[in-house]
Amino acid sequence: MPTATTWAETHTTTLTQTTSKLRGRIVDAKTGEAIIGASIQVKGKKQVGTASDIQGGYTLSASPGDLLVITCIGYQTLEVRATAGEQIIQLKEDAKMLVELVVVGYTTQRKESLTGAMISLKDSKLKDLTTPSVGNLLNGKAPGVYVSPGSGQPGSDAAVVIRGQATLNGNTRPLWVIDGVIVGDSPGQLNPQDIESVTILKDAASTAIYGSAGANGVVVVTTKTSRSGKVRISASLRAGITQLTNGNLRMMNGQELYDLFASAQNAGSIAFSRWKPELRNTNFDWWKFATRTGFTQDYNVMLQGGSETLNSLFSLGYYDEKGAVKGFDYKRYSFRLKTNYQPLEWLTIRPSLSGAMQTSDDRQHSVTSMYSMLPWDKPYDDEGKPVPHKSPGWVNSNSTNYVYDLQWNHGDTRNYEFMGNLDFDVRIAPWLTFSSVNNYKYLHRAQHGYQDPRSNAGQSVEGRITEYHLEVARRYTNQKLLTNNSWGSHNLSGLVAYEFNDYWHKTLDVYGRGFTPGFEVLDIVAKPERTKGGIAEWAVQSIFANARYSYDNRYLLEGSVRRDGASNLGSKAKYGTLFSISGGWNIHRESWFKVKAFDQLKLRASYGSAGNRPSALYPQYDLYSVSSSYDGRPGLLIYQLGNDNLTWERTYTAGLGLDASLWENRLHFTIDIYSKKTDNILYNVPTTGLVGVTHIYRNIGKMDNKGIEVSIGGDIIRTKDLTWSLDLNIGHNANKLTDIYRQYDPTTGKLVAKPVIINDGTSISGSAKRILEIGYPIDTYYMPEWAGVDRETGKPMWYKDDANGNKVSTSNYAEAKYYKLGSAAPKVFGGISTSLRWKEFDLSATFGYSLGGQIYNYSRQEYDSDLAYADRNQMALQKGWSRWQKKGDIATHPRVLYNNKDAGQKASSRYLENSSFFKLRSLALGYNFALPQLKVQNLRLYLNAENLFTITKYSGVDPELPASDGAVMGTTGPGVYPPVRRFVIGLNLSL
């Protein structure tokens, strides 16, 4: 059987002769297609090497007869003798892709050896959207990973939930790890263009090694690293416009609103001064007035190169976006410097430094007013001056005019983020390495607010200036010993480690009031209105170990154990132990497995635990509030009762998975099923309040999450000139509360598990409620059930139970019974992506979908209120909706009354809607140019369109509600910043 070297030599062709430099091309052995970025090195001469360009070509200073080493990810490494002339070298694809490396918990593993449920996304999968938020890029990319995107406002962050919510009122966000450093529940100001790969860890086999922080899943980010060779320069430039999309929602114009008022059965009682027929012809478009075509710029440049001993990477990024709602501008500047230095064969030092500055200038027009303001009122008078507040010339003469305040009022924010690492590896023996990761992260936020004495907000206090400063420092260190041993068919690798991570933050929050207009510093205020500040700290230390064993790459076994100690748990339960065990079976490697179609067939199983800590910093202590509320003198008041027994919230996950690849990876799929059981749920339990304290943190309940995840994809067409690929992922998660804290039952005199009524995550009075009850999802809606419209009277109706327990209707809202009416979480969600490449053209599209969830559209309580709220604009009726007008009408909407008191606008399932959708997230068309004469390795020009369409029956702006402070929302407020449709032109350049 020929060796790799002889195989390559037999497929080498000499075309021309040259005596100065060697030239050649690297191509795919099967398709003849050029291979870009293959490394060509002269064996034994580390300083002599290059990489293939966009045409697969290379030029190398070497002599005929030198031994060349050619490597490229996804292909077999080859060694071949150099020949004179243009040398064509054919690389064989590693069809099984078994050497693909995946960055997981504290190590890097071959994809074939993985036993946990995870998905790895290369940077090429994360370039379809233009956003400064890394979380937004994950939307629809991985099964079981639900992403609630940021709003259309520039710089807004997404909320990420992996395999369902595993806690009640604690943090549901996953842990983020960047280049081996635990950075918390957010990636911060990480530039998406700096990312090389993202690995999402989903089951206990993958997350248990992260201990108390891994219960919500882990997102491991690897940034681009330096490589040896000549200095390479790459740049990406893109610019585009943004336009607001308003979904199915359309507010009434002046004519439609006049007709609605006139159709009221008590229209004779309308008595405001401008209620005249000519009012019908008055129309001001508040939406059009507040919006504009936004503009986005995103520029990045990267330099990398050096010798095998010392090489570095340096990147710069600039992102600038002017919001599609007028008055909000966002900018971010970022840099990253990474160096790899190997002064000795056994020592590698990896210092790095990164930083970002984010600024925003907020003079934004009111989003809520875009919807709520009456079209009969306009912001400027006939002389072009802003109408003052509560103008008698307005129909809604009690309303404020936000434009009047915008003459002066504004705010600005500056965020600074710096992170530095000094990491090093010491190779003690060929099988043993000591690795040290040491990181310091510093953040500073400065917010300034100005409310002019002439404005509505500042008039009562003669003007207000606000200053808020936040400093955060995090220290992280990880010291570990790693071992890797092979003998015969056996391989054993593992690690033992110590980790310490602490957090410190300091706030200063100052208000001053009373000043002369035009000054914006606290020095000139007449009175300090508010002076607040504080310091908070926590720390976690851990010891852990992990071991992986494989036999003949067929049978895989992995286990980990970790013991964590946290400062914000009770002294009686400060430390906790978490573990995992998992196994895998590469069936395709069995001698009896003769199905040649399979490149890979692997069965996986895992079980383990991960933890969660309380979001409060000191729940174990009795706390006192110190203030000057007692006759102006300082005093202490009990604020919190501590719980010294407070312990870890634990999530135990069992899972089974199947990975398969067929026909040289033409088809691949992964199936995972899982069961997550959370115990010792952390909850701020209500108390009687007799001692002045209304809540106490306790471990109170249990919860289940069960689900299935499927991803399938492959190349439908794969030829030399044409490739068409398609990928689909599907996720399903079912949540159920299985236990909750006990409350006193006066009828039995016992402690029983009663249902708990909670709000819907908003602070809106009169919105929907949710219920925590054993046997039901924790996001179950609880409210009166809508029974429709009374055909005889046009009144709204709801259901109640009669004396026999049967459902009957009533027009009295006070009599309506509260029912459990479904949940916010979708039944199925996921994404679809497809790409088509023909010669140098490429076309790709990404879709997202969600089916079966519900959304409470609170905005309709105000804007679809049957004129209960006559002081604000109303929604136009949508397709399939109808208004009751006379006896016998079958309608979806009740009668109209001016200042309606029928209560039809109150919270009920009337406003509970299906949140299912299917949307085109991105569509891109690109062309790759070959410009070797200009020494350009790669030049790609592309057009990208984002958020082109959404198919949904939801009546609001967008069924994908924007995240709020990192949390997924299930209720629409009265002022949703709409998503934007973006059109971008971009260019990627490599030299």
Q: Are 147 and 158 in contact (CB under 8 A)?
A: yes
User: 16 exposed, middle or buried (CB, 10 Å; 0-12, 13-18, 19+)?
Assistant: exposed
Amino acid at 81: R
Residue-level pLDDT at 9: 35
Interior CA angle at 656 toward 654 and 657, to 5°?
Answer: 140
Distances 678 to 249, 731, 735, 823 between C-alpha atoms, Å: 40, 20, 11, 19
Q: Are 91 and 5 in contact (CB under 8 A)?
A: no
pLDDT tens digit string along 856-896?
A: 999 999 999 999 999 999 999 999 999 999 999 999 999 99
The H-or-E segment that residue 531 falls in is strand 527-551
CATH class of 4-91: mainly beta
Q: Are 206 and 121 in contact (CB under 8 A)?
A: no
Q: Is the pLDDT of residue 1 over 70?
A: no
Both structure tokens of 146? 């639900």
Mean residue pLDDT across the chain: 88
Both structure tokens of 704? 């289940």
Q: Is the pLDDT of residue 948 over 80?
A: yes
Residue-level pLDDT at 6: 33
pLDDT tens digit string along 918-945?
A: 999 999 999 998 787 777 888 899 999 9
Q: Is the pLDDT of residue 800 over 90?
A: yes
Both structure tokens of 30? 């099967």
Residue-level pLDDT at 753: 87
Q: What is the mean pLDDT of residues 752-760?
A: 88
| C-alpha–C-alpha distance, residues 142 and 134, integer Å | 14
Q: Is the pLDDT of residue 96 over 60?
A: no
Q: Compute how many other C-beta atoms are within 10 angstroms of the C-beta atom of residue 907.
A: 23
Max CA separation in the chain (angstroms): 103
pLDDT tens digit string along 241-267?
A: 999 998 999 999 999 999 999 999 999
The H-or-E segment that residue 532 falls in is strand 527-551
Amino acid at 156: S
Both structure tokens of 156? 């807004």
Residue 936 β-bridge partners: 931
Left, alpha or beta for 882 (phi > 0: left; psi -120 to 50: alpha)? beta
Q: Compute how many other C-beta atoms are within 10 angstroms of the C-beta atom of residue 514.
A: 17
Distances 193 to 120, 139, 264, 357, 423 between C-alpha atoms, Å: 17, 17, 57, 16, 23
Q: Is the pLDDT of residue 113 over 80?
A: no
Q: What is the mean pLDDT of residues 423-448?
A: 94
Q: Is 169 helix (H, G, I), strand (E, B) or coil?
A: coil
| C-alpha–C-alpha distance, residues 128 and 132, integer Å | 12
Please name which of 945, 948, 955, 868 lies closest in space to residue 905, comparing C-alpha atoms. Answer: 868
Q: Is the pLDDT of residue 280 over 50?
A: yes
Please name which of 692, 699, 689 lies closest in space to residue 742, comparing C-alpha atoms. Answer: 699
Residue 702 β-bridge partners: 739
Q: Are 788 and 816 in contact (CB under 8 A)?
A: no
Phi, psi of 573 (to 5 degrees): -145, 35
Q: Is the pLDDT of residue 334 over 50?
A: yes
3-state helix/strand/coil string of 594-646: CCCCEEEEEEEEEEEEEEECCCCCCCCCCEEEEEEEECCEEEEEEEECCCCCC
Which of 447 and 5 is assigned the larger pLDDT?
447
| C-alpha–C-alpha distance, residues 589 and 822, integer Å | 47
> Checking DSSP bridges between strand 807-810 and strand 39-42, what pairing results, if any?
unpaired
965 contacts: CB under 8 Å, gap ≥ 6: none
Q: Are 339 and 311 in contact (CB under 8 A)?
A: yes
Residue-level pLDDT at 646: 83
Both structure tokens of 8? 């390559």
pLDDT tens digit string along 657-702?
A: 999 999 888 899 999 999 999 998 888 888 777 667 878 888 888 9
| C-alpha–C-alpha distance, residues 986 and 237, integer Å | 5
Q: Detail the DSSP E strand segments found in 395-463.
A: 410-429, 432-451
Q: Is the pLDDT of residue 292 over 90?
A: yes
Q: Is 817 helix (H, G, I), strand (E, B) or coil?
A: coil
| C-alpha–C-alpha distance, residues 401 and 393, integer Å | 12
Q: Is the pLDDT of residue 983 over 80?
A: yes
Q: Are 875 and 956 in contact (CB under 8 A)?
A: no
Q: Are 206 and 174 in contact (CB under 8 A)?
A: no
| C-alpha–C-alpha distance, residues 831 and 712, integer Å | 11
CATH level 3 topology of 101-229:
Ferric Hydroxamate Uptake Protein; Chain A, domain 1 (2.170.130)
pLDDT tens digit string along 369-405?
A: 999 999 999 999 999 999 999 999 999 988 899 999 9
Question: Above pLDDT 90, what percent of the chain?
Answer: 56
Q: Are 533 and 509 in contact (CB under 8 A)?
A: yes
Q: Is the pLDDT of residue 770 over 70?
A: yes
Both structure tokens of 323? 């919001």
| C-alpha–C-alpha distance, residues 225 and 371, integer Å | 48
Least confident of 88-92, 435-439, 808-812, 962-966: 962-966
pLDDT tens digit string along 891-911?
A: 999 999 999 999 999 999 999
pLDDT band of residue 629 (cuts 50, 70, 90) is: low
Q: What is the mean pLDDT of residues 518-527?
A: 90
Both structure tokens of 408? 């002066």
Q: Compute how many other C-beta atoms are within 10 angstroms of the C-beta atom of residue 204.
A: 30
pLDDT tens digit string along 226-243?
A: 887 888 899 999 999 999
| C-alpha–C-alpha distance, residues 215 and 759, integer Å | 24
What ranges do the domains of the chain cover?
Answer: 4-91, 101-229
Least confident of 138-142, 328-332, 714-718: 138-142
Q: Are 674 and 205 in contact (CB under 8 A)?
A: no
Interior CA angle at 890 toward 887 and 892, to 5°?
Answer: 120
893 contacts: CB under 8 Å, gap ≥ 6: 789, 864, 866, 877, 881, 882, 883, 884
Question: Above pLDDT 70, what percent of the chain?
Answer: 94
pLDDT tens digit string along 139-177?
A: 888 888 888 888 888 988 888 888 888 787 667 788 899
Q: Are 607 and 558 in contact (CB under 8 A)?
A: no
Distances 856 to 782, 862, 869, 890 between C-alpha atoms, Å: 11, 13, 19, 24
